[in-house]
Amino acid sequence: MIVDHQGNLPLDLSPFIGRNDQQHTTAELLRTRRLVTLTGSGGVGKTRLAARVASLAASHFDGVWMIDFSALGGQTETSVDRVYGHMMHALGIQHQQSAGLEIILAHLASKRVLLILDSCDRLVPQLASVVVTLLQAAPQLRVLATSRQRLGVDGEKSIQILPLSLADSARLFAEFAEAAGASDAALSDTDAIEELCRHLDGLPLAIKLAAGRALTLSLQELTDRTADRFALLAGADRPDGTTAQMERVVDLSYELCSDAEKAVWTATSTFGSFTLAAAEAVASAAGRDPAEVIDAVAGLVEKSVLTPTTSTSPARYSMLDTLREYGLRRLKQASQSRSARDNHRDYYLAFLASAATDWFRPSELDNMAAVRRELPEIMSAIDHSMNVGDYAKAREICINLMRSRAPFFWGFLKTADNALQDVLAAPDPAVNSPQGAMSFAAVSAFSAWIAATHGRRQQARSTLDSAYTLLEKQGIGTIAPLLFADGGGTALLEGTPDAIGLCLAARRLFATPDAIGDRHQATMMWAIATALAGDPHAAITANELYLKEAEQSGAPWAISWALWGSALAALRAQNTESATEFISRALRMQRDMKDSWGGTWSLALCAWIIAARLPHAADPQEEARRAAWLLGASLARQQKTGVVIAGLKPLAERQERAYAEIADILGELTTEKQAAAGHRGYADAFRVALGEPISRRTSAATSSHGLTSRERQIAFLVAEGFTSAEVGNQLMIAPRTVDTHIRNILGKLELSNRAALAAWAAQQTDEI
């Protein structure tokens, strides 16, 4: 049984003509070949063909995911870590501690997934290395790449994508021209269409661009213009792989644009994708009237320069790589590259400043989602600032990215932290000025805060001490972000009373109107610090204020955390009835929000509360089993999302106490077994925590997590019919080692033979 298809293939309603044989041949190849690369010049249609192939092959995979690399590999060399972070973002993987290969492998290793790696041209060395490692570690993975050259990986099957035949070119032109509003009379002149298509050399993008002009130019005019340009531009392909024929058609399309359309085309070529608001901002900064932009964008969509995606809100626009490169070349020729990239960067400075100020409102989930959608552009803005030595603006972007809280909610803390570390390592002499020192200290504070939330005590302390020293040299006592990170970190790492005063001091310093959200975060950590180390009555009072403040804001994520703090305070006061009510409300909100970060903390707290009330439970044995199960499920979710409660002393102590309370009822062995069951079935953790029923089918499916990663790899390969020798060859281990693994797998799953294992594999419902 194939699981429900998942992925991110774009909806493509444009006509697709020709290449039927290549579609089916490539789809069949992916059943036996691990890596297939579609090669060809710019504009020949590699991306669309890859998407069509993926649609044909989708039924053979658990999911099909397209990752576009066109926006990476710009002015400076892109690191492999950056490639991993980009892949995790595209795959929707949330993990707070790592943006690396091991996390991607953990999500792909046992799944039948097709990855489309699109526009690999600028990153061939990095992607070749990544692909080799992925294919070695994930036996069921298939990769379909598009590039102007092969990746050069052993076992790669490359297919050169040639231009369309004359007949198919004419059919495609007629389809696009009819959609553009060309007259029936013009479209009936098949000889003229074929003559034009000869000059367009069968390149789908060139055909699409020319067809977009069929309403305003006759077929003869289009043919004459392309023919004239052929004499000037014919010759060898460009170094970037764009043919001279493609260049002349794009030139024609550009020259027939209005001045506003040209300005928007070049200004937005600095983006990978963008909204109308972004286009208005960068075009305005380049000297265009913002009122012109919406018409210019509409015109570029009609001319097939921009591709709209209206399934998102707001709508997003992008360019094919060939058209984006053309716009960037135009900027370079006009000596406007720096100013255009500055405008792009400044747009994200303003965007993040707004997100940082506005998150503590009912719209906070939408705000954080918007930040996540813009993450590739935000990272590009940071890169540009670093490349041109504008470290102050790089720091400002990083600060407001963290203030938006999106990295916590959406699970890209490691990506954000890497940017913070790069900015902190920059050789900026301005940090020896008062303003520079405060900016540097604020970045340090966020870096220390991330370290603290992950239990890295020494790193957090060292980073804070360096920031304090820098401020002291400038005669500055402290700043609010530093006090917040110090107090919040002390609360989580040590659980000592001095954290309460530090957080309260930070709360008082966050006094400006644009720091309302920051002040609330300080309130949060003051209330939590009081719940961890203060008088129980004071903890209740502090968290009542915290919850009231959150509820008045209407911000759902803030409210869920205030409920968490209230549950912790009630547990500290031994009021388990109130604690249960608070944590149940928090869990329901977090489930509705799909909050992997907060939900993981709440599941652990729920287990502690159940353990604390065992002496008064109607059925202590049953409740103890549920608490133990939740401890195991919480640990599994911590490992999956990168949350590290074990490194936070006061919370780790509460965890140990809960375990001891459970073991007093069940004994060590039963407690361990129940925790192991929870670890396997963590996907049902919210239902178990809230006392909701679990279907037997779901429970059985989740039990597959009792296998190790390597055992799951082998189990699925065996289920596909591979022999021990074939499995060993793929995984580079001896056949007898494979046989040993198979015996262990059968024993763990209580199965008798390989046929039963194949049936088990068909029932799995894991999600990527």
Instruction: Please tell me the distance from the alpha carbon of residue 467 to that of residue 485, in angstroms, as a whole number.
Output: 11
Q: Is pLDDT above 60 for 763?
A: no
What's residue 729's pLDDT?
62
Using a 10 angstrom Cβ sphere, with 0-12 exposed, 13-18 middle and 19 or more buried, the burial of residue 526 is buried
Q: Which amino acid is at 90?
A: A
Assign 299 to helix, strand or coil: helix
According to DSSP, the residues that pair with 114 across neighbouring strands are 64, 142
Q: Is pLDDT above 90 for 573?
A: yes
Domain contains 454? no
Q: What are phi and psi of 178, to 5 degrees?
A: -60, -40
Same domain membership, residue 198 and residue 71: no
The backbone region for 204, taken as left when phi is positive above 0, alpha when psi lies in -120 to 50, beta otherwise, is alpha
Percent of residues, the chain, with pLDDT higher than 90: 56
Domain contains 660? yes
Assign 742 to helix, strand or coil: helix
For CA atoms 577, 578, 584, 587, the dihedral sign is negative
- List, for residues 545-561, the tens digit of each pLDDT value: 999 999 999 999 999 99
Q: Is pLDDT above 80 for 77?
A: no
Domain contains 689? yes
What's residue 766's pLDDT?
39
Domain boundary residue, one of 335, 366, 397: 335
Mean pLDDT of 515-535: 96
Domain contains 376? yes
Rank 213-227, 239-253, 471-485 by mean pLDDT and report only the highest: 471-485
Domain of 120?
6-160
Q: State the DSSP code for 440.
A: H
Rank 101-115, 262-276, 704-718, 751-765 by mean pLDDT and report only the highest: 262-276
For CA atoms 231, 232, 234, 236, the dihedral sign is positive
Instruction: Please tell me the distance from the alpha carbon of residue 215 to that of residue 558, in angstroms, as a whole number.
Output: 54
Instruction: Please tell me the distance from the alpha carbon of residue 705 to that of residue 681, in angstroms, as a whole number.
Output: 7
Instruction: Provide the token pair at 489.
Output: 């970190």
Domain contains 142? yes
Domain boundary residue, one of 400, 427, 454: 427
What's residue 187's pLDDT?
85
Same domain membership, residue 591 and residue 683: yes
Q: Is pLDDT above 70 for 244?
A: no
What's residue 702's pLDDT?
42
Using a 10 angstrom Cβ sphere, with 0-12 exposed, 13-18 middle and 19 or more buried, the burial of residue 317 is buried
Domain contains 767? no
Instruction: Please tell me the distance from the alpha carbon of residue 312 to that of residue 374, in angstroms, as a whole number.
Output: 13
**Confidence band, pLDDT 50/70/90 cuts, at residue 701:** very low
- How many independent structural domains does the chain possess? 6
Same domain membership, residue 183 and residue 106: no
Same domain membership, residue 193 and residue 103: no
Determine the length of the chain.
Answer: 768
Same domain membership, residue 124 and residue 38: yes
Which of 58-62, 584-588, 647-651 has the least mean pLDDT?
58-62
Q: Is pLDDT above 90 for 241?
A: no
Mean pLDDT of 153-173: 91
Instruction: Please tell me the distance from the alpha carbon of residue 282 to that of residue 288, in angstroms, as a whole number.
Output: 9
Q: Is pLDDT above 90 for 459?
A: yes
Same domain membership, residue 626 and residue 743: no
Q: What is the mean pLDDT of the chain?
A: 87
What's residue 703's pLDDT?
44
What's residue 262's pLDDT?
95
Mean pLDDT of 509-516: 93
Instruction: Please tell me the distance from the alpha carbon of residue 43 to that of residue 238, in angstroms, as a whole number.
Output: 13
Q: Which amino acid is at 719?
A: A
What's residue 753's pLDDT?
72
Same domain membership, residue 271 and residue 251: no
- List, for residues 609-658, the tens digit of each pLDDT value: 999 999 999 999 999 999 999 999 999 888 887 777 878 999 999 999 99
- List, for residues 181-192, the tens digit of each pLDDT value: 888 887 888 899
Instruction: Please tell me the distance from the alpha carbon of residue 322 to that of residue 70, in angstroms, as a whole number.
Output: 10
Q: What are phi and psi of 241, to 5 degrees?
A: 95, 0
- List, for residues 394-450, the tens digit of each pLDDT value: 999 999 999 999 999 998 998 999 999 999 999 999 999 999 999 999 999 999 999
Which of 503-507, 566-570, 644-648, 753-757 has the least mean pLDDT?
753-757
Do 438 and 447 form a contact (C-beta atoms < 8 A)?
no
Kindly report the CA angle at 699 between 693 and 703, in degrees rounded to 5? 150
What's residue 706's pLDDT?
64
Same domain membership, residue 650 and residue 669: yes
Q: In sequence order, which residues have a C-beta less than 8 Å from that of residue 707 and are 6 or more positions away?
A: 715, 745, 748, 749
- List, for residues 358-377, the tens digit of each pLDDT value: 889 999 999 999 999 999 99
Assign 7 to helix, strand or coil: strand
Mean pLDDT of 467-475: 96
**Confidence band, pLDDT 50/70/90 cuts, at residue 666:** very high
- For helices 413-424 and 375-387, give the axis angle rounded to 10 degrees: 10
The residue that leads in pLDDT, 137 or 380, is: 380
Kindly report the CA angle at 622 between 618 and 623, in degrees rounded to 5? 70
Strands 316-318 and 307-309: antiparallel
What's residue 2's pLDDT?
27
Same domain membership, residue 149 and residue 78: yes
According to DSSP, the residues that pair with 574 across neighbouring strands are none
* Cα Rg of the chain (Å, integer): 29
DSSP for 341-398, please give it: HHHHHHHHHHHHHHHHHH-SSTTHHHHHHHHHHTHHHHHHHHHHHHHTT-HHHHHHHH
Write out the H or E segment, with its range, that includes residue 631.
helix 620-641
Q: In sequence order, which residues have a C-beta less than 8 Å from that of residue 165 and are 6 or more positions away?
A: 18, 202
The backbone region for 540, taken as left when phi is positive above 0, alpha when psi lies in -120 to 50, beta otherwise, is alpha
Same domain membership, residue 142 and residue 10: yes
Q: Is pLDDT above 50 for 306?
A: yes
What's residue 234's pLDDT?
38
Mean pLDDT of 599-615: 96
Same domain membership, residue 140 and residue 49: yes
Instruction: Provide the token pair at 315.
Output: 């709508």
CA neighbours closer than 13 Å in the CB half-sphere of residue 655: 19
Residue 734 belongs to a domain with what CATH number?
1.10.10.10
Domain boundary residue, one of 137, 160, 183: 160
Domain contains 452? no
**Confidence band, pLDDT 50/70/90 cuts, at residue 13:** low
Assign 147 to helix, strand or coil: strand
Same domain membership, residue 145 and residue 11: yes
Mean pLDDT of 446-475: 95
Write out the H or E segment, with its range, that includes residue 663.
helix 649-666
The residue that leads in pLDDT, 138 or 293, is: 293
**Confidence band, pLDDT 50/70/90 cuts, at residue 32:** confident
Instruction: Please tell me the distance from the alpha carbon of residue 82 to that of residue 115, in angstroms, as a whole number.
Output: 18
Domain contains 553? no
What's residue 768's pLDDT?
31
CA–chain centroid gap for 700, Å, is 30
What's residue 20's pLDDT?
86
Q: Is pLDDT above 50 for 229?
A: no
